[in-house]
Amino acid sequence: MASQGAVPLRPAFQLKTPKGTRDWSGRELHLRECIFRTASEIFELHGAIPLDTPVFELRDILAGKYGEEARLIYNLEDQGGELCSLRYDLTVPFARWLAMHSDVKQVKRYQIAKVYRRDQPAISRGRLREFYQCDFDIAGSYDPMVPDAEVLRVVVDIFHALELDITIKINHRQILDGIFDIAGVPADKTRTISSAVDKLDKSPWDEVKKEMVDEKDLPKDVADRIGEYVQRSGSMSEMLASLKTVTEFCDNPLVKSGLDDMTLLMSYLEAMNIIDKVSFDLSLARGLDYYSGLIYEVIPQTNGSTIQVGSIAAGGRYDGLVGMYGKQPVPCVGVSLGIDRIFTILDARETKKKSQKMARDAEVFVMAFGGKDFDGLLPERMAIAGELWKAGIRAEYLPKKKPKPQAQFNAAGGVPVAVMLGQDELAAGQVRVKAIQAEKEEGATKDRGTLISRSDLVQEVRMLLKAAGL
């Protein structure tokens, strides 16, 4: 390799990106951009405004919001001045923004930005320390479950637009807390038992029970009672019908309130024509502390695919978070899309299809040929490319003063249209154009294309591009 012979100018150090981070370029970036655009358009269809917050926040803003996970926060060095940390998610910055704008009573906002977690990275499975989140939230006081239903509709619309089949698992924190209450879980163990229940999507009940009893000191009979309830799942109508027959559920005010919410939600999801996408799953618990009502996780239906990415979006209602900043509480409900996981699935599909090219390749290659006095016609090639750029056509030329014919054809490989210049023809106000995609290079150098008036250039090129299906 050419670089082996170079003499390092300074002591060598490892040339890489920091642990758990990576560069993105070309086709991958275009695919990611396409996901962002799809999501943004649907957010705006629902009247959401975009929000952009700084990549770091005052450390006090993040403090006390993430429980144990706070150890994963990246801190900035104290270089004199304020203590700051990189954002850990987009929810806390939004809550901070809401607390700062107490005049905003109701708002839908979306934010697409990178977040930072000093976790153990697993790059092949798409788990990085720097990764994108894409959040949509509805803040403010509304009639019950109305914004919750709209968030789920937004989720369905986005994955429909991305052509990804999904199931939305839903549950309700009050139902779950009520069940723990009925089963006899002490109040101070509610959250830790809740996170054990949340593992039921990956582990069998026996293992989860073992964790509750052995690690978390829950009496065996309490765990058994939990197990009886939380392993139930099904359609909303089946589940609601069945749960409403359980007397102790209807007697528990938490469960009762949660079931009322779910009944109302069902009628709205039916009206919005997305009820078939939803599964009511009592084992869904979600890790974060701040959820207070409806919770949900989106699972992709990757039929037969080998990619197992877990949930690709998740969220819920968090009515207490904004109030933590000492201002008036603002009820919120929202969803966060797991962009990197969605990317992984779509990327595998695109690679499988192979046909779709995400890179914007050149459409026209501008060449020049001549006899023994040939000076390369570089300014003339530049001028022609300039006319094409002006018309919004992606044009290139070989950036050499005196290019050889074969070098130009090689560089034009895959470009559908060639514009060919000759000294005498240019003097007569003429250029040649030619479709080159399907031909072999050998033959191409012989066929000299169609002679046209230079003033017709853009029009002729557009016709050739159209004929080539572009």
Pick out the residues of the known binding site for L-histidine: 89-91, 117, 133, 137, 286, 290-291
- State the alpha helices, DSSP H only, in 312-404: 339-353, 378-390
Question: What type of residue sits at position 145?
Answer: M
DSSP state of 122: B
- State the alpha helices, DSSP H only, in 114-246: 146-161, 173-183, 190-197, 205-210, 220-230, 236-243
231-270 residues in contact with a copy of itself (CB under 8 A) are 267-268, 270
N residues, the chain = 470
Q: How far apart are the C-alpha atoms of 156 and 324, rounded to whole Å?
A: 31
Closest contact distance (angstroms) between CB of 294 and a copy of itself is 15
Closest contact distance (angstroms) between CB of 379 and a copy of itself is 3
Closest to a copy of itself by CB, 246 vs 272, is 272
Closest contact distance (angstroms) between CB of 116 and a copy of itself is 8
> Which residue's entry shows tokens 């073992």?
210
Please identify, among the stretches 144-152, 168-176, 339-347, 461-469, the one whose residues bind a copy of itself according to the rule CB under 8 A: 144-152
The residue from 18, 304, 443, 469 that contacts a copy of itself (CB under 8 A) is 18
Binding string, residues 337-376; x marks residues near a copy of itself by CB under 8 A: ----------------------xxxx--------------
Closest contact distance (angstroms) between CB of 6 and a copy of itself is 5
Is residue 382 involved in binding a copy of itself (CB under 8 A)? yes
290-319 residues in contact with a copy of itself (CB under 8 A) are none
Q: Which residues are documented as binding site? A: 89-91, 117, 133, 137, 286, 290-291
DSSP states along 404-436:
-HHHHHHHTTT-SEEEEE-HHHHHTTEEEEEE-
468 Cα distance to chain centroid: 33
The count of chain residues that interact with a copy of itself, using the rule CB under 8 A, is: 104
The residue from 70, 242, 389, 448 that contacts a copy of itself (CB under 8 A) is 389
361 Cα distance to chain centroid: 25
401-430 residues in contact with a copy of itself (CB under 8 A) are 401
Q: Is 228 helix (H, G, I), strand (E, B) or coil?
A: helix
Closest contact distance (angstroms) between CB of 291 and a copy of itself is 17
Partners of residue 233 on adjacent β-strands: 281
Is residue 36 involved in binding a copy of itself (CB under 8 A)? no
Two structure tokens written together for 216: 């978390």
Closest to a copy of itself by CB, 96 vs 286, is 96
Torsion angles phi and psi, residue 368, rounded to 5: -140, 145
Closest to a copy of itself by CB, 273 vs 351, is 273
382 membership: H or E segment, kind and range: helix 378-390
Is residue 99 involved in binding a copy of itself (CB under 8 A)? yes
42-61 residues in contact with a copy of itself (CB under 8 A) are 42, 44-47, 49-58, 60-61
Specify whether the CB–CB gap between 172 and 293 falls below 8 A.
yes
Please identify, among the stretches 98-106, 219-227, 242-250, 454-462, the one whose residues bind a copy of itself according to the rule CB under 8 A: 98-106
Torsion angles phi and psi, residue 267, rounded to 5: -65, -35
Closest to a copy of itself by CB, 52 vs 188, is 52
Closest to a copy of itself by CB, 208 vs 385, is 385
Closest to a copy of itself by CB, 379 vs 429, is 379
Is residue 378 involved in binding a copy of itself (CB under 8 A)? yes
Q: How far apart are the C-alpha atoms of 283 and 194, rounded to whole Å?
A: 9
378 membership: H or E segment, kind and range: helix 378-390
Binding string, residues 119-138; x marks residues near a copy of itself by CB under 8 A: -----------x--------
The residue from 120, 203, 242, 273 that contacts a copy of itself (CB under 8 A) is 273
Q: How far apart are the C-alpha atoms of 419 and 29, rounded to whole Å?
A: 30
Partners of residue 85 on adjacent β-strands: 57, 75
Question: What type of residue sits at position 393?
Answer: I
Is residue 323 involved in binding a copy of itself (CB under 8 A)? yes
User: 160: Cβ–Cβ under 8 A, 6 or more apart, which residues?
Assistant: none
146-175 residues in contact with a copy of itself (CB under 8 A) are 146-147, 149-150, 153, 157
35 membership: H or E segment, kind and range: helix 26-45
Closest contact distance (angstroms) between CB of 79 and a copy of itself is 6
